[in-house]
Amino acid sequence: MDRKSFFQQISSGRRESSPEQLSVTAIPAEQLAPRKQKQQDAAQRTTGRLSTGVTPYTGTFTEDQLRHLLRRTLFGFRKTESDAFKGMTASQVVDLLLTTSTTAPTPPVNNYNSGTYTDPNVPAGSTWVNASFTDGTANALRNFSLKSWWMGLMLNQDATILEKMVLFWHNHFATEMDVVGDARYSYLTNAMLRKDAMGNVKTLVKDVTRDAGMLIYLNGYLNSKNAPDENYARELQELFTVGKGPNSKYTEDDVKAVAKVLTGWRINRLSAPASAVYFDPTRHDTGNKTLSSFYGTSAVITGRSGTNAGNDELNDLVDLLFAQRETALHICRKLYRFFVYYDIDAQAENDVIAPLADTFINSGFEIKPVLSQLLKSEHFFDSLNQGCMIKSPVDHIVGFLRQWNVAFPASSNIPAQYGMWNDARAFCQIQGMDIGDPPSVAGWPAWYQVPSYYQLWINSDTFPKRNQFQDLLISTGYTSRSGKIIADVYTFAQQFPNPENADKLLDDSIKLLLPIPPDATMRALLKANLLPGGIPDFNWTDEWNQYKNNPGNTLFKNIVYTKLIMLYKSIMNLAEYQLS
């Protein structure tokens, strides 16, 4: 199927495909994984959902545990990646996953010069991130370039947690590229989140506060002593730091005081993007800012004047925000919902969130020790925390494309490469998740909206699109002006040790593709795709070997490909395939 007909068939657009906007029927999680749900319900009736905490996992680190870890920390994992970690302990694998590159990737480039539009300031193949703002058309095309580039980084990620953490922080410190209105600043936001993703979160909050994209998005660049703008001051507390937990008692007066602390930051749009943000002391409120007792009995940020006033008061403010235990608890809860499970009951709060917050505080607010403790914990590897999350659209699309080793156009053909990366992004968009443009400053509702959470990803509109995507890729493939991508079922099966053995091929495929194995009845139905009508197992062996030894024989090829396509469609159309 080509690009035009496919997207005409299933595209509803970014805004319209949001579960909050469409009149669609949500599909409850228990319908996606009834067996897993029954296990969890039974456990909760007797002891609460779980009884495990952050004690390091000491059980046998099997391939099942390894695959669970990789599903949660990567966007899909390849067989070669899981094979590379075999024989290691859980602690060793986590350490490697948390060892991320500090080298910034090559920035996005102009892939959009064409017969209908040419960017007068940026030659084809050159980066636009430091170029001048040209016009609205160029900016829209640069936005697509940026999203395509980001999708390419996720598709080509190494076996570390970095790309997951960039998305986590993008969801936490959400900005919308459509609102920012300048792709150059949106690139700087992404680069900043990428630079700070595995570092000190106090530093990250300061960088976000002075980020051009955020200053535009939440009106920080308009904030002045004569007209304080409370937008960012509110979200800084409500969403980014102390949160809305039961013990978070900041007040409206605190919002007003914090807004005054942040007066004076400006953007010079005529400067080079990287140096566009500056502080204007003449527009800064130099008075003392008194906060409520929630921040302490003498919570006063001393007013400053002069060129360093903005940074000095920002430092004091961030110190005050992070002195509240609620900030550590709020961020740890967000990490938990992103990497473990949406429901934080009293046991999880006491035995997981609280000790993670202690680690966070004691480390000076470094994120890596928290991730290490969480991902090495017995709680993370508890069987009831495996296969209990519904994949986000990015997890689904990028995970599929990586796991199936789908080949994209080479870097020697930038327009084709970026074009196909953008098509991959569009597949995520029509399923309700357009990277770079979350629905609001709160991020995507699936990570915060009580009580549905992940269930919001799946509804009567998005669920068929998920199946259509994977069915299309393993059958005819997807074609656009940029070329063609296809998931080759024979190559996929060939990576396993004994693909000619129906049972071993089925077991290996299930282990790679499903977080929860099917029961005996479903397994038999899956196997029947290779051996219809109950024919003997040796029939599949003969058919595989016939094609393997005669790859040019169309008849042998059609037999093998038809059966493999039906097998993998059947596996990936199971509800369990939508889980992580």
Structure tokens at 153: 């980084």
Q: What is the structure's pLDDT at 32? A: 55
Q: Judge contact between 234 and 255, C-beta under 8 A.
A: yes
Distance CA 317, CA 204 (A): 14
Q: What is the structure's pLDDT at 116? A: 85
Same domain, 235 and 192: yes
Q: What is the structure's pLDDT at 579? A: 98
Same domain, 293 and 364: no
DSSP E strands, 394-546: 478-480, 483-485
At which residue do the structure tokens 């005529």 appear? 270
Residue type, 237: Q
Q: What is the structure's pLDDT at 49? A: 85
Domain-located, residue 103:
no
Phi, psi of 279 (to 5 degrees): -110, 130
Same domain, 152 and 267: yes
Same domain, 254 and 297: yes
pTM (2 d.p.):
0.93
Domain-located, residue 230:
yes
Q: Which domain holds residue 506?
A: 490-578
Domain-located, residue 361:
yes
Q: What is the structure's pLDDT at 20? A: 31
Same domain, 350 and 319: no
Q: Which residues in the chain come in under a pLDDT of 70?
A: 1-48
In the chain, the number of structural domains is 3
- DSSP code, position 318: H
Q: How far is CA 96 from CA 57, 84, 87, 365, in A?
A: 17, 11, 14, 21
For 247-303, what is each residue's pLDDT tens digit?
999 999 999 999 999 999 999 999 999 999 999 999 999 999 999 999 998 899 999
Same domain, 207 and 298: yes
Q: What is the structure's pLDDT at 114? A: 81
Q: Judge contact between 567 and 492, C-beta under 8 A.
A: no
User: Within 13 Å and on the Cβ side, how many CA atoms surround 15?
Assistant: 3
Q: 3-class DSSP state for residue 517?
A: coil
Same domain, 313 and 349: no
Q: What is the structure's pLDDT at 31? A: 55
Q: How many CB atoms lie within 10 A of CB 134?
A: 15
Domain-located, residue 202:
yes
At which residue do the structure tokens 């390849």 appear? 78
Q: What is the structure's pLDDT at 60? A: 93
Phi, psi of 203 (to 5 degrees): -60, -40
